[in-house]
Amino acid sequence: PSSKPSSEGMPPTGGVRLAAFDGGIPSLEGFDEGAWWVQDAAASIPAKLFGDLSGKRTADLCAAPGGKTAQLILAGGAVTALDQSESRLRRLRSNLDRLGLKAETIAADLTTFEPAERFDAILLDAPCSSTGTTRRHPDVLWTKGPEDIARLAALQERLLRHALTLLQPGGTLVFSNCSLDPVEGEEVVARVLSDTDAVERVPIGAGDWPGLEAAITPLGEFRTLPTMLKMPDGIGSGLDGFYAAVLRRVA
């Protein structure tokens, strides 16, 4: 573009939000060089909950299109990116190539996936109703009903229970999705924790997330809402609705 669009940093997530600009995303400075990628502020939170991943064997399950995979790599993890769709993995590889990043990629059904070695850290950003994306996709509130949410919650629970078996004792799993409905978030995690002594919740500290303190629930989980994250005039406020919980395998 002939001039740079105005921008504002977002300390809670480390991202940068731009004002309106002319031209497409690929026309912006640094795109071709792989200096950055596009990701909603809320979607960037789950990977940040791990902190430093240096030396850790890390899995991004349901990984495509790869924004969170890139975050895990930059955090130092030796990352395996898993997705059941080979075509979606091709998009992930293309995105990582542009960014100059590398990950092992595996096309597989998570419910039957068995790695040769368990992981130290796992991100499971599970399929969901996507009702948290209503800022950008308002139609989702009309296209998803209670039966869809119940079906997806059952799938999420299956995926979460299996993903926990892929974790080393002492390892950390972050479970997340972009649904606004507790049926797909809080209730799934509560059921899993209620019938196993091998896993515990690791509370998230509100003090670690200035500007998003209101998103930390009394149990120490993340629950962002589209009305959160106020930005200065000229820069759009808000973020996707997202849920995230940190779990540790203790046995």
Please determine, for residue 212, whether its predicted confidence score (pLDDT) is greater than 90: yes
What's the rounded Cα separation, in Å, for the pair 103 and 108? 15
Rounded to whole angstroms, how far apart are CA atoms 209 and 228? 13
| Inter-residue contact 54 to 32 (CB < 8 Å) | no
CA atoms of 245 and 108, how far apart (whole Å): 24
Residues with a known catalytic role: 178
Which CA distances in Å does 76 have to 18, 48, 79, 173? 27, 12, 9, 16
Q: What pLDDT does 3 receive?
A: 53
User: Is 132 in contact with 107 (CB distance < 8 Å)?
Assistant: no
The DSSP call for residue 4 is P
Mean pLDDT over residues 183-199, rounded?
97
pLDDT tens figures, 24-48: 889 888 999 999 999 999 999 999 9
Distances (CA, A) of 114 to 70, 163, 173, 220: 23, 10, 16, 30
| Arithmetic mean of pLDDT over the chain | 94
Is the pLDDT reported for residue 175 higher than 70?
Answer: yes
User: What's the CATH superfamily of 40-249?
Assistant: Vaccinia Virus protein VP39 (3.40.50.150)
- DSSP reduced 3-state for 155: helix
d(CA 151, CA 189): 16
- Per-residue pLDDT reduced to its tens digit, 44-97: 999 999 999 999 999 999 999 999 999 999 999 999 999 999 999 999 999 999
Can you read off the two tokens belonging to residue 87? 């075509």
